[in-house]
Chains A and B, each alone.
Chain A
Amino acid sequence: MTTLAKNARSAPPQTGAPKPRGGYRRLGDLKIALFFIAPAMIGFIFFYVVPTIRGVYLSFTEYNILGDPTWVGMDNYTAIAKDPLFWNSLAVTGQYVFLNIVLQTALALGLALLMNKVAKSTLIRGALLLPWMMSNIIAALLWFWMLDYQIGVVNQFIEWAGLPRVAFFGSEEWAIPTQAVINTWRHMGYTALLIFAGMQAIPGHVYEVAKLDGASPFQTFRKITLPLLRPVLVMVLVVTVIGSFQVFDTVSVTTGGGPVNATRVIQYYIYQRAFTESDFGYGSAIAVILFLILALVAFIQMKFLKGNESDLD
């Protein structure tokens, strides 16, 4: 949205073009615009707007999906406020998001720099994307087996190195970091690609000027690349943070919320309450809370990192 607004602002003024006459022309545009928007709009309304509104409605009901929803007002929300598992899921998810985002962004930035300066072969650039082409479930299961305590290959190597075996998925301390690293591994290539595309958009002449002024590579990175990359980085952060909050499939196919409650992340808890325990009203209410949290996080990121302004202007 913000890019649209920005383009409109920075577009060259149409000095020579004749002024459109009245509302007729605009209405004509509207029809064509609607025609082009329609396919996306229908999908958006049926698969996003309607389910969201219905979800908000269901969050005020008691509903086991096979019967009819009964209105219970704020009961679900007051119950959630007192539900230790909900607060646990927030803490666990927060831990996951923090580890995942910090690692992923740092590594992706490094990879993007390498793609930009060193690894110019398409083959190598493509290879960085390979983990991302794997389905989440496959990636999770692959690592689940490789990291298995008893018969996993990684623990065999650890033992050969003379170190004690690690219960990567089984111990409460390791379960979340393990999954955060697996998903970092899967997503960093893609994130690097986005950042790399942003780097390509930085005009070469600023680097030439920096070189002439005798800036070191580190200074160039800190003073030129990072600031000019900010809008792209903000966009990448907003998207990856939202994606990270929604971690579900990895947990679902590996630890299933355990050990004890160590990986009962918020999406998994929603799934458990709604689909496993048939408490769709309660599940919807947590989903609404997650929706509000994500909206707030995205807003704060856009606001404070000034994602809609570029220093190139």
Chain B
Amino acid sequence: MKKSLGAVAVAAVMALSLSACGGGSSSSAESAKGEINYWLWDANQLPAYQQCADDFAKANPDISVKITQRGWDDYWSTLTNGFVGGTAPDVFTNHLGRYGELAENKQLLAIDDAVKKDNIDLTQYNEGLADLWVGQDGKRYGLPKDWDTIGLFYNKAMLASAGVTEDQMKDLTWNPEDGGSYEKVIAHLTVDKNGKRGDEAGFDKNNVAVYGLGLNGGGDSSGQTEWSYLTNTTGWSHTDKNPWGTHYNYDDPKFQESMEWFAGLAQKGFMPKLETTVGAAMADTFAAGKSAINAHGSWMTGQYTGYKGIEVGIAPTPVGPEGKRASMFNGLADSIWAGTKKKDASIKWVEYLASADCQDVVASKAVVFPALKASSDKAAAAFAAKNVDVSAFTEHVRNKSTFLYPITDNTAKVKGIMEPAMDAVVSGKAPASSLTQANEQVNALFK
């Protein structure tokens, strides 16, 4: 039985591949109607986009949109398999760290002509977001849908009992030598099993009940939520230029000094050891009362403020040695697969996703910040209506204290090298100077 199933499968695969070959050409009339497939990875955003799809189908009776949500872990490998097997979605949510390679391998449809023809005003998006999706070849591969920055989520009750005010949280400073007032607050919020605080004599760093700062992981190549909001206040940046840098800077002493300080937090007992963070998500341990402050992305706002019985505030990331705050600015976009048979319908859908009609719907759900400036404000208002103050995230955009997610070639390989290297440093197994060697490996990829 089991074996003969194999034969059936072979026949089925053959039939599928034959039909795939047969359907190669389609007239332009056909490409503007029918069902298009759309993928995204964030389950929290699914309801908003489902409503966009329903509204879109109402306005365009010829077209229907089938949305599939796949978790981040499977998203990219399934997508790659789809490109090869001819089953990839017509339109999908794309990430800055990935699209360079996809564009280079000719899997993405350039949409310059459509943008020009339909007069899409690229200045209505938050500054810089639209330009991120222009590839190395000068062609546009997506329209921006949302953006995110980093902030400090804190447990209000823990701050109150430690006597740290929320105004203090807004004026935190940091430097790599002594950690500034940021480290002082973190130390003070750390409490050991006997109730001694991290800055008191007799603090037992091996038996900590509440950590001042939560830890998500080593941060691999980007450190998006882990350390980049600190390292990038020193004037350091990941690459020589962004986007499309060809040289990484993990060997910079400024960066290594910052990482040494960061790893030191765990050794002082103010932050969990890396080995203890493998498992439950950082947000969940925060909800379980194991940490007082968590640095995390704006897309997590709904989750942090949604925990029952815990009052959460959001503070901006600390001001660095150069007098400015810093936050990674990441944006997603919707891209079209080059192999789509529904090109015209897909373009329509992507333009709809990037329009105020859809982005206002997304804004109203208060999950993420839409890319359109006007819709961003509506999202902030929607958060405010839920009693969540998100100014910590929006102020980065307003004050232009953002830096871009590092966009280069070979991002997957860079991550493959930097992940274990950063883990070794953050866990204290290797000094930050060991990153120089990893950096050489990384830069060898670009030769």
Residues of chain A whose beta carbon lies under 8 Å from any beta carbon of chain B: 38-40, 42-44, 46-47, 64-67, 144-145, 147-152, 165, 167, 169-172, 175, 254-255, 257-261, 264, 272-273, 275-279
Known: A151-B280, A171-B275. 8 other contacts (CB 8 A): A65-B84, A66-B84, A66-B106, A150-B276, A152-B279, A175-B278, A255-B278, A261-B420
- The reply to whether A150 and B285 contact each other, CB–CB distance below 8 Å, is yes
5 smallest A-B Cβ distances: which pairs? A43-B6, A170-B275, A170-B278, A148-B279, A66-B105
Closest to B107 in A: A66
Distance in angstroms between the alpha carbons of A116 and B10 in the assembled complex: 42
Q: In the complex, A272→B73 CA distance in Å?
A: 12
Given A66-B107, A145-B279, A167-B273, answer yes or no on A40-B6 (Cβ-Cβ < 8 Å).
yes
Q: List 30 A-B contacts (CB under 8 A).
A: A39-B3, A43-B6, A43-B10, A46-B6, A64-B105, A66-B80, A66-B83, A66-B84, A66-B106, A149-B276, A149-B277, A149-B278, A149-B279, A150-B272, A150-B279, A151-B285, A151-B288, A152-B280, A170-B274, A170-B277, A172-B429, A175-B278, A258-B420, A259-B278, A260-B423, A260-B424, A275-B77, A275-B80, A276-B77, A278-B80
B9: chain A residues within 8 A (beta carbon): 43
Chain B residues in the interface with A (C-beta under 8 A): 3-7, 9-10, 76-77, 80, 83-84, 101, 105-107, 272-280, 284-285, 288, 290, 412-413, 416, 419-420, 423-424, 427, 429
- Interface residue from A150, A171, A278 paired with B280 (Cβ < 8 Å): A150
Give A44 to B10 CA distance when docked, in angstroms.
11
Residues of B within 8 A of A175 (CB): 278
A56 to B276, CA, bound (A): 41
Pair A148/B420 contact, Cβ less than 8 Å: no
User: Which residue of B has the minimal Cβ distance to A46?
Assistant: B10
Return the contact of B412 from the options A44, A171, A254, A277 (Cβ within 8 A).
Answer: A277
**Pairwise interchain contact A169-B284, C-beta atoms closer than 8 A:** no
Indicate if the CB atoms of A147 and B4 lie closer than 8 Å: no
Cβ-defined contact, B427 with A260, below 8 A = yes
- Nearest Cβ on chain A to B343's Cβ, whole angstroms: 19
Q: Is the CB of B412 within 8 A of A259?
A: no
Instruction: State the CA gap A44–B9 with chains docked (Å).
Output: 12
Provide the main secondary structure of the chain B interface.
helix
**How near does chain B come to A158, taking the closest CB pair, in angstroms?**
13
| Chain A residues positioned under 8 Å from B424 (CB to CB) | 260
Complex Cα–Cα for A82 and B259 (A)? 29
Question: Among A40, A165, A255, A260, which residue has its beta carbon within 8 angstroms of that of B429?
Answer: A260
Question: Shortest CB–CB separation between residue A178 and chain B, in angstroms?
Answer: 10
Partner of B276, one of A67, A170, A277: A170
Query: Distance in Å from the Cβ of A154 to the closest Cβ of chain B?
Result: 11
Chain B residue, CB-CB nearest to A274 = B77
A257–B413 CA distance with the chains assembled, in angstroms = 15
B275 touches A47 (CB 8 A): no
B17 to chain A, nearest CB (A): 12
- Contact, CB under 8 Å: B284 / A259: no
Find out whether the CB atom of B427 lies under 8 angstroms from the CB atom of A259: yes
The distance from the CB of A276 to the nearest CB of chain B, in whole angstroms, is 6
> Which residue of chain B has the shortest Cβ distance to A167 in the bound complex?
B275
CA distance A38 to B10 in the complex (A): 13
Specify which chain A residues have a CB less than 8 angstroms from the CB of B83 in the assembled complex: 66
In the bound complex, what is the Cα–Cα distance between A147 and B276 (angstroms)? 11
- In the assembled complex, the Cα of A43 lies from the Cα of B277 at a distance in Å of 44
- How many angstroms from the CA of A149 to the CA of B276 in the assembled complex? 5
- The answer to whether B6 and A148 touch across the interface, beta carbons within 8 angstroms, is no
Shortest C-beta distance, B360 to chain A (Å), equals: 36
Residues B279 and A169 in contact, CB atoms below 8 Å apart: yes
Known contacts A275-B77, A276-B412; A42/B288 CB under 8 A: no
- A47 vs B6: C-alpha distance in the bound complex, in angstroms? 8
Closest to B218 in A: A258
Query: Is A42's CB under 8 angstroms from B279's CB?
Result: no
Bound-state CA distance A42–B76 (Å) is: 31
Residues of A within 8 A of B273 (CB): 167, 170
Residues of A within 8 A of B5 (CB): 43
In the bound complex, do residue B6 and residue A42 qualify as a contact, i.e. CB atoms below 8 Å apart? yes
